[in-house]
Amino acid sequence: MSKILFSGIQPTGTPHIGNYLGALKNWILLQQNYNGIYCLVDLHAITIERDPEQLYSDTINSIKDLLALGIKPEKSTIFVQSHIPEHLELAWILNTITPVAELERMTQYKDKAKENKNNINAGLLTYPVLMAADILLYKAQAVPVGDDQLQHLELARIIARKFNNRWGDTFPEPQAILPEGKRIMSLSQPTKKMSKSHGEKNYIAITDNPDTIRKKINKAVTDTGNEKTDEMSPGVKNLFDFLLYLGKNDIHMKMMAEYQNKTIKYAELKKAVADSIIEELADFQKRREQIKETEVIEVITKGKKQAQIIAQQTMQEVRKKIGFL
Ligand code: TYM
């Protein structure tokens, strides 16, 4: 039997090119060799205040994105987290073996608490416990993510170990699978990771049209004048990285030589990056327009049934081991 692979994405509008190169591209590739289970993590998404109608349509649209990107519902399971209440039951149990101190030192928690000073809710703190529950519920061995999720994944491994020590061997310790593009940086603030929360200018959505992609890349920060002379600035490095992650090794090599002998024109580098992104997304964007909501409903109804079977089995085993009546 193939190994189980699990991953999740928050339905917070169209994924950006960081989500794509950091995780989704691997989801598509790895579904050939694994039993892939892919989850729209709407329960995680509400740790930040969300408009209900927006959350609803973002969830539908995210599934359209996954289908158009090439996740195959005949091969893989695609489902919505809130459809399987066992995630919450397991998360509660895992809460009881997770030290608060571990949660308080999570970088993402600290960043989000800083960004959302008026809403530092308990869900933000226990977010990684729910994430551990997502993974362990399906006894997943492999978890493709970008490197911003590595700390959470390490905690999931610690939690699995603690559970196994306390209640007997139950969960495998999940391994992260990282792609080459494990961290894509913001276009406007290239020392930070690309993220929706830093505004339109800093990311490229995978549904952005060619014109928008060109405009955003043209505005990307390159040299700020503050860097040491022998050091490539983070903005320029990010642009070069795009070429590598998009498989344009020949252009990368040529332009890197120009960079080194100081003949490079950043306008040309940006054009090459924009061209590569547009080319990479063209097929997806064509397919995306044709996917209907009825197809989405069919896929998640089937996904729910498939996920439920595994989730219920695991929870029966867990309840028995813990000693629930
Ligand atoms: P989310 O929705 O923030 O991001 C989805 C995936 O995209 C990756 N990613 C990036 N990769 C490279 N560069 C970037 N700038 C970048 N930004 C985001 C993320 O690493 C992630 O893989 N907590 C998770 C969702 C989740 C999950 C899970 C993942 C919930 N349960 C269980 C794996 C397993 C998250 O917020 O992802």
- Residue ranges of the domains in the chain? 3-182+293-322, 196-287
CB–CB of 241/184 below 8 Å?
yes
Which region among 25-29, 213-217, 227-231, 305-309 has the lowest average model confidence (pLDDT)?
Answer: 227-231
Q: Decide: 8 in ligand 1 pocket, CB within 6 A.
A: yes
Which region among 198-212, 213-227, 283-297 has the lowest average model confidence (pLDDT)?
Answer: 213-227
**Of the listed 25, 193, 248, 270, which one is catalytic?**
193
* pLDDT at residue 226 in the model: 66
* pLDDT at residue 229 in the model: 65
* pLDDT at residue 267 in the model: 96
Q: What is the CA radius of gyration of the chain?
A: 21
CATH number for 196-287 (one of 1.10.240.10, 1.10.1740.10, 1.25.10.10, 3.40.50.2000): it is 1.10.240.10
Contacts by 81-86 with C-beta closer than 8 Å and gap 24+? 81/8, 81/39, 81/40, 81/41, 81/42, 81/43, 81/44, 81/134, 82/42, 82/43, 83/300, 83/304, 83/307, 84/137, 84/304, 84/307, 84/308, 84/311, 86/137, 86/308, 86/311, 86/312, 86/314, 86/315
Ligand 1 center to 155 CA (angstroms): 15
162 catalytic? Reply is no
Cross-strand bridge partners of residue 313: none
Which tokens in the block code for residue 128? Answer: 């990684």
Say if residue 76's pLDDT is above 70.
Answer: yes
Ligand 1 center to 149 CA (angstroms): 6
Indicate the pairing of strand 142-144 with strand 77-80.
Answer: unpaired
pTM of the model: 0.95
Distance CA 143, CA 98 (A): 20
**Of the listed 192, 196, 201, 271, which one is catalytic?**
196
Say if residue 126's pLDDT is above 90.
Answer: yes
C-alpha distance across the termini of the chain, in Å: 33
* pLDDT at residue 230 in the model: 72
193 catalytic? Reply is yes
* pLDDT at residue 207 in the model: 96
The preferred substitution site among 148, 180, 194 for testing ligand 1, maximizing ligand atoms within 8 Å of CB, is 148
Say if residue 37's pLDDT is above 90.
Answer: yes
Q: How many CB atoms lie within 10 A of CB 260?
A: 10
Say if residue 113's pLDDT is above 80.
Answer: yes
Q: Decide: 140 in ligand 1 pocket, CB within 6 A.
A: no
Mean pLDDT in residue range 234-246? 96
CA atoms within a 13 Å half-sphere pointing along the CA-CB vector of 261: 6
Q: Do domains 3-182+293-322 and 196-287 have the same CATH topology?
A: no
Ligand 1 center to 227 CA (angstroms): 30
Q: Decide: 148 in ligand 1 pocket, CB within 6 A.
A: yes
Closest by CA to 14, choosing from 200, 143, 184, is 200
Q: Decide: 131 in ligand 1 pocket, CB within 6 A.
A: yes
Alpha helices in the chain (DSSP H): 17-19, 25-30, 42-45, 52-69, 86-95, 100-104, 107-115, 122-137, 150-167, 210-218, 234-245, 249-260, 266-290, 293-322
Q: Which CATH architecture has domain 3-182+293-322?
A: 3-Layer(aba) Sandwich (3.40)
Q: Which atom of ligand 1 is nearest to the CA of 130?
A: 31
112 catalytic? Reply is yes
Say if residue 174's pLDDT is above 90.
Answer: yes
Q: Which atom of ligand 1 is nearest to the CA of 184?
A: 13
Cross-strand bridge partners of residue 142: 5, 175
Q: Decide: 183 in ligand 1 pocket, CB within 6 A.
A: yes
CB–CB of 274/212 below 8 Å?
no
**Of the listed 112, 139, 182, 248, which one is catalytic?**
112
CB–CB of 67/296 below 8 Å?
yes
CB–CB of 204/216 below 8 Å?
yes
Cross-strand bridge partners of residue 35: 4
Strand order of the sheet with strand 175-177?
77-80, 35-40, 4-9, 142-144, 175-177
* pLDDT at residue 227 in the model: 62
Residue nearest to atom 20 of ligand 1 (CA): 146
CA distances from 69 to 8, 15, 188, 295 (A): 15, 11, 26, 15
